Amino acid sequence: MSRIPLRIMTPALRRAALMAPGLGWLALFLLVPCLLVFALSFFERGLYGGVDYVFTLENYRRALEPLYRSILINSAWLALLATFVSALIGYPAAYAIAKAPARWQSALLVLVMLPFWSNYLIRTYAWIVLLNREGLINRALAELGATQPLPLLYNDFAIVLGLVYGYLPFMVLAIYASLSRLDPALLEQSADLGASAISTFLRITLPLTLPGLAAGSVFVFVLSIGNFITPDLLGGGRRLMVGNLIYKQFLSARDWPFGSSLAFLLIALMMLLLFAQAVLVRRSGGERPA
C-alpha cells in the first residue's frame, strides 16, 4: 500500500516533502523566534522582569540614547577595524595560496580553515595566556629588559586582535575563491602589453576580486559586530560591544524588550550588508564577459 502513494507523487510534491522537515525546523526554531524578538522589541518591560504587552517605541528611542548609541558605534568601529586588518593580512595570504602549486592549494586552504572549526572559547583563552601582565609576551619583553609590562589585555587592541584571529580564515577563503576564478590569460595579456606587475594588479586583479573581498569583509564585519565572547574575555567587560549589552539585558538586567530591540537592530544591519553585498556580486557578475 505504501508504495503507491509515493509513486503517484509529482516531482514537485516529492521535492516539497523532502524539504519539509528541514524548512519546518528552521521556520519553528529560527523564523518564529526571530519574529518573536521583533515583536518583543515593541513591548514594555514588566515590573518584575517580565513583559507587559503594551505597544511602545521606547526601546528603540532608548537604544539611540547617547550611552547606548556610543556602545553601538564602538561595536561598529571595532568590527570595522577588525575587517580592515583582516583584509590587509588576508588578501596577500589568499594571493600566496592562489599562486602556490595546484596540488598544495587545497591542503593550504584546509590549514587556514581548521582553526575555525575548533573551540572559539579556547582560541580566545590562548590570547589571555599570551597577553596578560604576567603572560608570555610580557615575560619575553621583561627578559629583553623592559621594566614595565605592556597593557596588552583588556582593551580595544586585544578585542580587535581576537576578532582578527577568529575571523581571518573567512577573509582568506572568500578572497581565494575570487582569485581562483581569475583567468590567467588576462594577466598574461596585460604583461604582454607592457603593464608592470603593480599596474596589472591594480587594474585587473584587484577590481576582478573585489566581490570576494566584499564577501569576506561582510562576513568578518557581521561576525565581529555580533560577537560576545571576544569583548567579554579579551575586553575584560570594560569595553562593551552590542553583544555584551544584549547578554546583560537578558541575563542580568532582565529587560527583554530592550535587549530585543538591540538584537533586532543588529539583524537589520546584518541584512542590509548582506543585501548590499549580493547586489555588488550580481552587478560585477553581470559585467563579466561570458
Partner 1 sequence: MRLGRNHALLNLHLALVYAFLYGPILVLVALSFNRAGLPTAWTGFSLRWYEALAGNESIRQAVVNTLIVATVSTLIATAIGTLLAIGVERGRSGPVLDAALFAPMIIPDIVLAIALLSFYSMVKLSLGLHSIVLSHVVFNIAFVAAVVRTRLKHFDWSVVEVSADLGASALTTFRLVTLPIIFPGVLAAALLAFTLSVDEFIIAYFTSGAGPSSTTFPIRIYSMIRFGVTPEINAVATIVMGVSFTLVLASQRLLGERRRS
Q: Which residues inside 218-277 make contact with partner 1, applying CB under 8 A?
A: 219, 222-223, 225-229, 233, 243, 246-247, 250-251, 256, 259-260, 263, 266-267, 270, 274
- The set of residues, in sequence order, having a beta carbon less than 8 Å from that of 187 and lying 6+ positions away, is 200, 204, 205
Is the Cβ of residue 127 or residue 208 nearer to partner 1 in the bound state?
A: 127
What is the DSSP track for 197-266? HHHHIIIIIHHHTHHHHHHHHHHHHHHHHT--HHHHHTSTTTS--HHHHHHHHHHTS--HHHHHHHHHHH
- The set of residues, in sequence order, having a beta carbon less than 8 Å from that of 123 and lying 6+ positions away, is 115, 165, 166
Tell me if 14 contacts partner 1 by CB under 8 A.
Answer: yes
d(CA 255, CA 112): 40
For residues 95 and 177, is the Cβ–Cβ distance under 8 A?
A: no
**DSSP 8-state secondary structure symbol assigned to residue 46:** P
Tell me if 179 contacts partner 1 by CB under 8 A.
Answer: no
**What residues numbered 101-140 form the site for partner 1, per CB under 8 A?**
106, 108, 110-112, 114-115, 117-123, 125-130, 132, 134-136, 139
Tell me if 157 contacts partner 1 by CB under 8 A.
Answer: no
Report in angstroms how near the CB of residue 126 gets to partner 1 at its nearest: 4
Report in angstroms how near the CB of residue 71 gets to partner 1 at its nearest: 14
Tell me if 206 contacts partner 1 by CB under 8 A.
Answer: no
Tell me if 37 contacts partner 1 by CB under 8 A.
Answer: yes
Draw the binding track, 65-104, toward partner 1 (x: CB under 8 A; -: no contact): ------------------------x--xx-xxx-x-----
Number of residues interacting with partner 1: please give it, by CB under 8 A: 85
- Residue 208 grid cell: 576582478
For residues 41 and 257, is the Cβ–Cβ distance under 8 A?
A: yes
Report in angstroms how near the CB of residue 236 gets to partner 1 at its nearest: 11
Report in angstroms how near the CB of residue 117 gets to partner 1 at its nearest: 4
